[in-house]
Amino acid sequence: MSVLTPASEVILRHHEQFSSHHLLFAGDLQDNLATEIEAASVRVHTNQYHLWQSLIRQLGDSAQFGLVADSAFIKGCDTLIYYWPKSKQEARFQLRSLFSILPIGTDIFIVGENRSGVRSVDKLMEGITTFHKIDTARRCSLFYGQLKNQVQFDQNNWWNSYQVGDTTINTLPGVFSQDDLDVGSRLLLSTFDAPISGSLLDIACGSGVLATVLGKKNPDLTLTLSDVNAAAITSSKATLKANKLEGNVVTSNVYSAIEEKFDWIISNPPFHDGLKTTLTVTEDMIRMAPSYLKSGGQFRIVANAFLPYPSLLDKTFGNHKVIAQTGKFKVYQATKR
């Protein structure tokens, strides 16, 4: 058995009742329980590309990556095991999407860390089904309900838009800075006070705000945007389109699907995987950056000031400098020599 999250350990406490069921795993999965649990059949829908890459090795076509599941993929599933994300709005989006295609009578198990807000599930799903807490352990709660009413779901009703100067940003639930430009990204953008040109990669692009703002200010800049999250990929495409910009939007786990070299690599990288703090993504981003930069290319990121990136930048590039900072954030730049 692989290392499991606390939420999955709670699910395993009830493994006997799943053995004859056709399971659909969805939500904020962060391990491979779906490949190990005993059941009549197992399917997994995930909006995280890196998890899908891991799952397909054993599940093949029974693992699906995308923004929402489709009815053909979930056909035959009689039980949903849903992992609650840290964003309640994302949970509503994903669950209502699933409840629009799952059959009436589907057994629904919802599990999550208590600090994620999972205990609000009954209120959020009021009128659709009633949930009861059936277990609590490892600072997690497990709820059970049965789908009573299918719901209508239209992805177009879930968009949020806001302005950054003359740039329109379009976002879906669960995308970083869904409602407004975050302080870190604002600080990073402030460092681009002079025109830039060439090719730019916005990695872990989220809504696409960084690349789009810079693309509008620098018409000759060639844009590539990448992320692992399906909602971020969809949002970035919509943001570029709203601003009448061309750009290559790539689903990629850090550089896994990146094939060219750039004059600029920029990012406001994540340091959370769900509710868990992790530096792995940014560390990989830094270590591998020289392989994706042209000679003289610039690597520029914003990060919380307490995170330990300066020594890794120096080890990787042989140089770095802080070009902007506040009490909370620093913008680091390193040059490929």
Residue 20 forms part of a structural domain: yes
**C-beta separation of 28 from 84 below 8 A:** yes
Which 3 state secondary structure label does DSSP give 115?
A: helix
Same domain, 186 and 307: yes
Q: Which residues contact 192 (CB under 8 A, 6 or more apart)?
A: 214, 217
- Could you give the CA distance from residue 7 to residue 10 in angstroms, rounded to a whole number? 5
Same domain, 178 and 302: yes
Q: What is the DSSP letter of 103?
A: P
Same domain, 171 and 302: yes
Same domain, 150 and 163: no
Same domain, 104 and 178: no
- Could you give the CA distance from residue 329 to residue 184 in angstroms, rounded to a whole number? 6
Tokens of 178: 């869904």
Whole-structure pTM value:
0.95
Strands (E), the chain: 22-27, 41-46, 63-65, 79-83, 107-113, 132-137, 140-146, 160-164, 167-171, 199-203, 222-227, 248-251, 262-267, 272-273, 276-277, 293-304, 321-325, 329-335
Q: What is the CATH number of the domain that holds 223?
A: 3.40.50.150
Residue 1 forms part of a structural domain: no
Same domain, 205 and 278: yes
pLDDT at residue 275 is higher than 80: no
Per-residue model confidence (pLDDT) at position 124? 86
Residue 39 forms part of a structural domain: yes
Strands (E), 48-113: 63-65, 79-83, 107-113
- Could you give the CA distance from residue 250 to residue 255 in angstroms, rounded to a whole number? 10
Residues spanned by the domain of 65: 6-155
Same domain, 126 and 26: yes
Per-residue model confidence (pLDDT) at position 123? 87
Average pLDDT over residues 13-32: 96
Among 1-15, 42-56, 57-71, 182-196, which is the least confidently predicted range? 1-15
Same domain, 83 and 186: no
Same domain, 111 and 230: no
Query: Nearest to residue 225, comparing CAs of 199, 203, 243?
Result: 203
pLDDT at residue 244 is higher than 80: yes
pLDDT at residue 276 is higher than 80: no
Per-residue model confidence (pLDDT) at position 278? 66
Same domain, 169 and 308: yes
